[in-house]
Amino acid sequence: MAMEEFQVAIHQGKLSDAISVVQAKPLQYFSNTPINVAVVGEPGSGKSSFVNSMLGKQPGDPGAAETGIQATTTKAKDYPHPTLPQVILWDLPGREESFGSRTNPEDLKCYDFFIIVGYQRFRTIHAELVHDIQAMGKRFYFVRAKTDLDVEASRRRQPSGYDDRTVLQRIKEDCVTCLLNENVIDPQVFLVSNWDPQSFDFPILWEKLNNDLLWLKRQAFIFSLPSLSAPVLENKQATMKGKILLPALYSGVLGLLPLPGISFAAAMFFFVRFRNQCYQFFGLDVPSLTALARDVGKPVAALQAVMTSRKLMPLILWRLPDLLGAVLIMMEICWWQRYPYAGSLLAGVPSFFTSYYMLHRCLAAVAKDTQNVLSRALEGKEKMPI
Ligand SMILES: Nc1nc2c(ncn2[C@@H]2O[C@H](COP(=O)(O)OP(=O)(O)OP(=O)(O)O)[C@@H](O)[C@H]2O)c(=O)[nH]1
Ligand SMILES: [Mg+2]
């Protein structure tokens, strides 16, 4: 079972092995992986009708998605597909344009694959969706619904010498060009009418989805890996927690020595040492990261960029650079001169607590970093046939 092998590798701090375990599995292995497909687009574009067509249902049938002229779908709803195993279609409410005020939205994160349903022109909302999906390293098809209306309108405008094929080709080319302008590589565009799943590109869409499904399931599996690693990382964190008290005590005891600056130096020393231990234990030390970076074809710096624990260092240095730090050190020196023993105690006790707190923070950050590094390592790594 890849999941268990993956978890064992994480437990052993071998991130590179963890990723290889998954990459070595044949496609068929992922046939039972659930895949959540989100149907997204502007309000009224035909998303719910598209879901019904995919399910083989008519509007109003039991279990069919509700459709309508006014804003209809207000909450995301799941529709397990009757014949495609473990494929769950999600009918989402229409999304309005945000005019660039939005950052990467969280509401799309839980889906593995996307079908953007648009009609008429390619809009800003489509570009925004494309960016959001691509930012997550995920894939999508672009479905242009209500093609029957486009064809009908064109027929009326050009009754003589009218050719359906030319009109359809022009619409498709326009969608493809717009998607290429949004930096989509090899855009997949399908012109459909939700009224008739046998017409236009619906049959091609079915064929494409059937061909891509195992790849998409594999990608869905890969995206679930960081969360699969969570319980293992929690266990590892618990193990390392037992190793915090001693260095914090050492740091406190050293802080008791009547030497100005020793409490800071001790806290610093034990922090760096503990952090390196954590890196080794979780597989984030430089040799392990180098091996992982080589395996996934990314620079080490790209993996290190998502490690927040690396930024904890300035936090512990706060006592040196800023004004408050300088004042504290001056006070320590004055205390030592006036009351050497009380002054040491005043430095030793905070030293213990600072170290204890910082080591805890460091451990939590390294555990989180392991997930971040896994996600970054897997991002966009999979070569898909779409
Ligand atoms: N002619 C035609 N009409 C369609 C097609 N798809 C949907 N419609 C109509 O467009 C309207 C909106 O369809 P819905 O499926 O409810 O659209 P939606 O995107 O789910 O709408 P919201 O949930 O409100 O965002 C309904 O009146 C549908 O009957 C299509 O392919 N052709
Ligand atoms: Mg709807």
Atom number in ligand 1 closest to CA 59: 29
- Looking at the fold, whether 220 and 266 belong to one and the same domain comes out as no
Residue 191's DSSP bridge partners are: 144
What is the distance between the alpha carbons of residues 359 and 355, in angstroms, rounded to a whole number?
6
Residue 73 in contact with ligand 1 by CB distance below 6 A:
yes
Report yes or no on 341 lying in a domain: yes
Per-block average pLDDT, block size 10, for the chain (386 residues)? Answer: 82 90 86 96 95 95 89 89 96 77 69 95 92 89 96 82 87 96 94 95 97 93 85 95 91 73 77 93 96 91 91 57 54 65 64 83 93 81 50
Give the mutation target among 67, 73, 115 for probing the ligand 1 site: most ligand atoms within 8 A of CB. 67
Report yes or no on 22 lying in a domain: no
Report yes or no on 355 lying in a domain: yes
- Looking at the fold, whether 58 and 174 belong to one and the same domain comes out as yes
Report yes or no on 283 lying in a domain: yes
Query: Which tens digits make up the pLDDT trace of 144-201?
Result: 999 999 999 888 877 677 788 899 999 999 999 999 999 999 999 999 999 999 999 9
State which of 225, 245, 275 marks the end of a domain. 225
What is the distance between the alpha carbons of residues 215 and 30, in angstroms, rounded to a whole number?
8
pLDDT of res. 98: 63
- Looking at the fold, whether 291 and 358 belong to one and the same domain comes out as yes
Residue 90's DSSP bridge partners are: 38, 78
* C-alpha of residue 157 to centroid of ligand 1, in Å: 23
Number of domains into which the chain is organized: 2
Residue 145 in contact with ligand 1 by CB distance below 6 A:
yes
Nearest CA to 188 among 274, 257, 254, 130? Answer: 130
- Exposed, middle or buried by CB within 10 Å (0-12, 13-18, 19+), for 127? middle
Q: How far is CA 263 from CA 35, 251, 257, 314, 356, in A?
A: 54, 7, 8, 17, 13
- Looking at the fold, whether 41 and 166 belong to one and the same domain comes out as yes
What is the distance between the alpha carbons of residues 34 and 205, in angstroms, rounded to a whole number?
20
Residue 45 in contact with ligand 1 by CB distance below 6 A:
yes
Largest distance between two CA atoms of the chain? 104
Residues counted in the chain: 386
Q: Are β-strands 189-191 and 87-91 bridged in parallel, bridged antiparallel, or unpaired? A: unpaired
For every residue of 353-366, DSSP letters joined together read HHHHHHHHHHHHHH
Nearest CA to 302 among 362, 375, 356, 197? Answer: 375
- Looking at the fold, whether 221 and 233 belong to one and the same domain comes out as no
State which of 195, 225, 255 marks the end of a domain. 225
- Looking at the fold, whether 212 and 240 belong to one and the same domain comes out as no
Whether the model clears a pTM of 0.85, i.e. scores above it, the answer is no
Domain that holds residue 290: 229-378
pLDDT of res. 57: 95
CATH number of the CATH domain containing 185: 3.40.50.300
Ligand nearest, relative to CA of residue 59:
1
Report yes or no on 337 lying in a domain: yes
- Looking at the fold, whether 358 and 239 belong to one and the same domain comes out as yes
Residue 52 in contact with ligand 1 by CB distance below 6 A:
no
- Looking at the fold, whether 210 and 234 belong to one and the same domain comes out as no
pLDDT of res. 320: 45
